[in-house]
Structure 1
Amino acid sequence: MAHSQYDQFLQEATTADDHSDSPLDRDRLYGLYTSWCFLRQEAPRPESTFWAAMKKKHIHPGRNGLRMTGPAATDYILASCPGLV
């Protein structure tokens, strides 16, 4: 069974952490997705399309139990905080 781009994103750039006090909010999750797409040299889909796909996967902003992981997390953090470099 082929995995969608969103399945691959979730597998490669997120990790489940149901005990997290700060799950990924709307901006951070979509930002992580755009960083993941950038690293894969793919154009990100529009935010509305992204959230429609996340809704089908029962992933909602702010209460999703997800945390960032992998190279996309590093790219997102460095892009969000340019003073760190």
Structure 2
Amino acid sequence: MTPQQIIQFLQDCSIRAAAGNARLDADASYLLYVSWCGLNRKVPVPHQAFRTALRMAGLRPAKKTPHH
């Protein structure tokens, strides 16, 4: 079961890319979530629990691309 807090975060902050496949990587997604928690006075779940919740919601963050 996906925690209600994660569901609310996804509803508030998720957008569907109109064109292309633009996605945030796992670290950027978590940082956005932590910022959202701060703004909403919520305690963030640990990083691994966040990733698990995303998988349970059927979402997979983009893989990190190496910087050149």
Q: What is residue 31 of structure 1 aligned with on the other side?
A: 31
Gaps in structure 1 of 5+ consecutive residues: 64-85
Q: Which has more helix, going by share of residues?
A: 1
Q: Which has more strand, going by share of residues?
A: 1
Q: RMSD in angstroms over aligned alpha carbons? A: 1.9
TM-score, normalization: structure 2? 0.77
Report the Cα distance in structure 2 between the residues aligned to 1:10 and 1:31, rounded to whole angstroms.
13
Report the Cα distance in structure 2 between the residues aligned to 1:18 and 1:59, rounded to whole angstroms.
17
Report the Cα distance in structure 2 between the residues aligned to 1:48 and 1:18, rounded to whole angstroms.
29
1:43–1:24: structure 2 CA closer, same or farther, 3 Å change rule?
Answer: same
1:23–1:37: structure 2 CA closer, same or farther, 3 Å change rule?
Answer: same
Q: What is residue 55 of structure 1 aligned with on the other side?
A: 55
Gaps in structure 2 of 5+ consecutive residues: 64-68
Q: What secondary structure is seen at the aligned counterpart in 2 of 1:16?
A: coil
Offset of residue 8 of structure 1: 0.6
1:40–1:22: structure 2 CA closer, same or farther, 3 Å change rule?
Answer: same
TM-score, normalization: structure 1? 0.63
- Number of aligned residue pairs: give it: 61
Q: Residue 41 of structure 2 aligns to which amino acid in structure 1?
A: Q
2:23 is the alignment partner of 1:19:
no
Q: What secondary structure is seen at the aligned counterpart in 2 of 1:45?
A: coil
Q: Residue 19 of structure 2 aligns to which amino acid in structure 1?
A: H
